[in-house]
């Protein structure tokens, strides 16, 4: 049973359980997709029914963002732990390298996915990257076909929310891949174009603060975090 937070159902799993489920899906015979909603995405889902269906339709819904963990606690349905998308993605890339599965990198600005591929191949010996594509395309179907033609087993879909969730829900099967995951800005981090918050911020659950200081234009987006907590308080009262 999933833990409901403002209409989004989260799987109550630890990182190692999530990775075990990911490996099962990767070795299955149909397409699966994983989403990693943070409070901002939950807020998007409250306003956008198609986004909400795409998120809830995922095979695995992982709590990314400390806000989701707080929200679950406030609603007295605590989740085991935070499962950051980028860490889940990294673990699954390692699994692909170990099993000889092929990975496709989709998203971010032109050139970023190629750089991410180069860095990941250096980091995970034996990793096969079947192809890359930037995230600024007009038509989805040709991109899904390119992924299929590459023979990918797993796809990192890094198009930002809710574009990546909608793409996976609609085209997951058409890509021929067994496992797709929506990972936001992860390709920028794998490519070294953006940095993950230093250990201190992560340990103190202040990753959001680091991202805000680094990129003040995110301020508008970040207002969704207090809004999310307000909505959780409202849901609790009901």
Least separation in angstroms between residue 181's CB and ligand UDP is 12
* CB closer to ligand UDP out of 71 and 85: 85
Handedness of CA 161, 51, 165, 25 (dihedral sign): positive
* CB closer to ligand UDP out of 57 and 160: 160
Verify binding: residue 89, ligand UDP, rule CB under 6 A: no
Q: Which residue is nearest to ligand UDP (CB)?
A: 135
Q: How far apart are CA 10 and CA 215, in angstroms?
A: 28
Verify binding: residue 163, ligand UDP, rule CB under 6 A: yes
Contact 28, 60 (CB under 8 A): no
The contact pattern for ligand UDP, residues 34-73, with x = CB under 6 A and - = no contact, is ----------------------------------------
Q: How far apart are CA 143 and CA 138, in angstroms?
A: 9
* CB closer to ligand UDP out of 71 and 184: 184
The full 3-state SS of 187-236, as one line of letters, equals HHHHHCCCCCCCHHHHHCCCHHHHHHHHCHHHHHHHCHHHHHHHHHHHHH
- Using CB under 6 A, list all residues that contact ligand UDP: 107-109, 135-136, 158-161, 163, 184-185, 187-188
């Amino acid at each position: 049973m999933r833990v409901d937070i403002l209409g989004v159902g989260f799987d109550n799993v630890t990182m190692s359980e999530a990775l075990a489920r990911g490996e099962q899906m990767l070795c299955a015979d149909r397409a699966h997709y994983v989403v990693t909603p943070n409070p901002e995405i939950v807020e998007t889902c409250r306003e956008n029914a198609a986004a909400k269906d795409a998120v809830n339709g995922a095979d695995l819904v992982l709590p990314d963002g400390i806000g989701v963990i707080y929200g679950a606690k406030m609603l007295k349905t605590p989740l085991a732990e935070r499962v950051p998308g980028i860490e889940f993605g990294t673990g699954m890339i390692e699994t692909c390298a170990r099993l000889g599965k092929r990975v496709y990198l989709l998203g971010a600005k032109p050139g970023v996915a190629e750089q991410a591929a180069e860095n990941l191949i250096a980091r995970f010996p034996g990793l096969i990257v079947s192809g890359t594509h930037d995230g600024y395309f007009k038509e989805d179907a040709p991109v899904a076909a390119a992924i299929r033609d590459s023979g990918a087993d797993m796809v990192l879909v890094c198009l930002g929310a809710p574009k990546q969730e909608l793409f996976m829900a609609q085209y997951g099967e058409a890509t021929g891949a067994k496992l797709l995951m929506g990972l936001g800005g992860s390709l920028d981090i794998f490519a070294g174009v953006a940095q993950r918050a230093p250990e201190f911020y992560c340990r103190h659950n202040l990753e959001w603060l680091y991202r805000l200081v680094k990129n003040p234009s995110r301020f508008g987006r970040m207002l969704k975090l207090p809004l999310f907590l307000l909505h959780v308080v409202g849901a609790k009262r009901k």
